[in-house]
Chain A
Amino acid sequence: MSAGALVAVILGAPLLAASGCLAVRRARWAPGLNFGAALVVFAATVAMMPVALGGPYTFCGGYLIVDPLGAWVLLSVAVVYLLASMYAIGYLRAPGSAHRLPGFYALFAAFALTMLAAPLMNNVGVYWIAIELTTLVSTFLVGFERSRASVEAAWKYIIVVSAGISLALLGIIFFYWAASFELGATFDLTWSTLRGVAPRLNPTVTLMAFLLVFIGFGTKVGLAPMHTWLPDAHSEGPTPVSVMLSGALLNTAMVGIVRFIHIADGARLGLTPRIVVVVIGALSLFFAALFITRQTGIKRLMAYSSVEHMGVMTLGFGFGGPLGIAGALYHMLNHSLNKSLMFFGAGNAMHAFRSRRIGRMHHVLKLMPVAGLLWLAGAVGITGAPPFGLFLSEVTIMRAGLASANAWAVFVMLVVLILIFVGFLNHFRAMYFGSSPEAEAHVAEHASETHLGLWCVLPMWLALLPLLTLGLWWPHAFSNYFAAIATQLLGGPR
């Protein structure tokens, strides 16, 4: 199939699922419709990978672009969408809420649609709008449970992110303004136009524009100190939504930052943009470490871990070079898989212990033997320990950092990652091997009635196995892919 047809399938399937859920309004059909769309999207993105390598291709009057970088992010979104849709089937079975299911799945598919659309946008302004739309749709998913806490989280989410992203709009206007001195009053602000004109832009205005855009999209990526919405939104939404937010949404905003770093490279700005990117990345790691060690909520723990990994990815892109880019991209996919696994485990544990507090969870393995083991393996993986994928990508990023101009950040990264390793796994030690009399009683009482369905455990397997594979074996095809993206991001204008 051609790239155009694949794009139509990728965007069409969730659109059909969303409208189908709204039109049919049957609680029984909605999960299937959504899951079907996720399967189709996944197949289409996998098929798109080799096609995109020949790109970039543009469609629809130059508004859509298929390039290797976009396709890679689409893959991570599609993987998470597939796993989350599968998990949602098992997770959302609470009796009494069946009438709200079609609405939930319609929003869920629409959210997937906006996230799949964003990396395909070629016009910078339209990309901004796509990112804004992801916020608007996901706000209602975050507030879906309509509890006091979830509505509060939704409100904070939309206010903080809208305010942040408006800075990105201001930055884009500044880019347009700077470019209008060279290109005339009216032109299409695409990524490649901007990259092409970058060397001729006024450095002062361009630096200001880049900083605004970085802070703006950085808010959406969840980089510290703009991360304040993230733990609330991630912890208060239903678990499948947390998975989508953490594993997919953050990546779609990261694409924008990566493309703007590429543009800033072309402008005569020296090292300043990269130093800013690396400092913010390191700061995110540091903030995350502080909150991870003292965390009491299980999903908030996972949320701060997302801040950490977004920081690692930002460091990778900030270090740059073929190795840094490859490491950061590999990290993106690994993080999507691993964080999905962690949230599935957290959702299952919250179901088993009827609490979201870490202090209430003891003897996890007695209540959920298989899922508990998978979750524990995921916890080892998410802290960057071998033999899982994140270990490989973090080591690659560190190697890239040592060769870059910001080598100091590697030492910060190493120290903070060790802190996080200790802090994160300490929570798991307490949950798995700690003991207290009341916990014993709770386990004894509920051991018989806790039953996790196939749909709650299967996605954990499907996340863990590829993660383990990617930790032991870096596929050659991926290397070629990263090389193509690095050529795209390190080369000049085309």
Chain B
Amino acid sequence: MLAAHLNPLAASVFSLIAIASLLLAFVLLGSRWLRDYLVAFAIESWLIAALSAAVAFYGHYPELYLVAALTLFFRGLVLPYLLLRIIRRLEVDREVHERLAPSSSLVVGALLVVFAFVVSNHLGDALHLAGTVAVLALTVMLSMKLIGFLMLIVRSEVISQILGLLVLENGIFLGSQILVPGMPLLIELVILFDLLVVVACFGVLVRYLVVHAGTSSTLNLRRLAG
């Protein structure tokens, strides 16, 4: 277990990156401008790439340098570019009818982080890892997961929902870099590739939605129920 025996410098670097990513998730939650979402997501991806590189350096996992490079390229550049193209095609640039105002969602998000911390602490105690960076990684991982779900629930623009899903994925990826750095490279690469395909599919679907359903807000998707 890498996180249990780290020198203080490495532990601080990991913690810093993890907490910065969590803050960026809050930026997504607190803004109603779609471009802000995109920028926050891109920076978050760069941070995760930096984390991969840091884990590779301190934990001596040379293959993670490759993961870092690919993360930077795909998650940090290609995905935001694809999303930017989708946003440009849409005629909206902000959330219009949020179900929960950004300020309230920030509060709910903070509560979710507390919940994530309680769960992670419990897991950390069970594994005798209390007080290590592993607990922090778990907290950030679960918080980003919950914040992603919160975004899916309270935001209605299609692009916010896609970003909500991507925040979910980012959370998992970030946590897995610290908790299981030795995960086979193949799996990480395929998951990265999978993400690209997902976003490409979303791009096509958004076009269908706009053309055939005449809307880019899921609030108007109410035909099917019961």
Contact = CB atoms under 8 A, between A and B. Distances in A.
A151 B214 CA distance: 11
Given A148-B212, A159-B152, A169-B172, A208 B224 contact: no
Given A170-B172, A180-B180, A181-B1, A154 B208 contact: yes
B194 A132 contact: yes
Contacts of B126: 202-205
A129 interface: yes
Interface residues of A, number: 53
Contacts of A166: 145, 165, 168-169, 172
Contacts of B209: 151-152, 155
B129 to A, nearest CB: 10
Contacts of A176: 176, 180, 183
Interface of B: 1-2, 61, 119, 122-123, 126-127, 141, 145, 148-149, 152, 158, 161, 164-165, 168-169, 172, 175-176, 179-184, 187, 190-191, 194, 197-198, 201-202, 204-205, 208-209, 212-214, 218, 221, 223-224, 226
Interface in A286-336: 291, 294-296, 300
Given A139-B201, A158-B201, A159-B165, A151 B180 contact: no
Given A173-B179, A180-B182, A181-B1, A296 B226 contact: yes
Interface in A10-54: none
7 contacts: A154-B205, A166-B165, A166-B168, A166-B169, A176-B183, A205-B123, A294-B226
A155 B221 contact: yes
B172 A151 contact: no
Contacts of B149: 163
Nearest to B168: A166
B184 A188 contact: yes
B122 to A, nearest CB: 7
Contacts of B179: 173, 177
A151 B123 contact: no
Contact of A152 (B165, B180, B223): B223
Contact of B226 (A181, A202, A205, A291): A291
Interface in A92-149: 123, 125-126, 129, 132-133, 136, 139-140, 143, 146-149
A456 B191 CA distance: 40
Given A129-B194, A136-B201, A186-B182, A170 B145 contact: yes
A125 B204 contact: no
B184 A186 contact: yes
B213 A143 contact: no
B216 to A, nearest CB: 11
A156 interface: yes
Interface string A429-446: 000000000000000000
B172 A125 contact: no
A488 interface: no
B202 A158 contact: yes
B224 A155 contact: no
Contacts of B158: 155
A186 B183 contact: yes
Contacts of B145: 166-167, 170
Nearest to B134: A177
Nearest to A159: B161
A394 interface: no
Most buried by A among B1, B175, B212: B212
Given A159-B165, A166-B165, A173-B183, 7 more contacts: A139-B205, A148-B223, A153-B224, A155-B205, A166-B172, A188-B184, A232-B224
B213 A148 contact: yes
Most buried by A among B198, B213, B224: B224
A265 interface: no
Interface of A: 123, 125-126, 129, 132-133, 136, 139-140, 143, 146-149, 151-156, 158-159, 162-163, 166-167, 169-170, 173, 176-177, 180-181, 184-189, 202-205, 208, 231-232, 235-236, 291, 294-296, 300
Nearest to B175: A173
B198 to A, nearest CB: 7
B127 A205 contact: yes
Nearest to B1: A181
A123 B190 CA distance: 13
Nearest to B59: A185
Contacts of A187: 182
A267 B25 CA distance: 35
A185 B180 contact: yes
Nearest to A296: B226
B100 to A, nearest CB: 18
B226 A151 contact: no
A167 B218 CA distance: 22
Given A126-B187, A180-B182, A204-B122, A152 B224 contact: yes
A151 B169 contact: no
Contacts of A202: 126-127
Contacts of B181: 185
B59 to A, nearest CB: 8
A167 B208 CA distance: 27
B190 A162 contact: no
Nearest to A149: B223
Contacts of B183: 125, 173, 176, 186
Contact of B221 (A156, A177, A294, A296): A156
B179 to A, nearest CB: 5
Contacts of B187: 123, 125-126, 189
A185 B168 CA distance: 24
Contacts of B148: 163
A146 B194 contact: no
A221 B198 CA distance: 20
Contacts of A162: 165, 198
A304 B117 CA distance: 38
A129 B196 CA distance: 13
Nearest to A304: B226
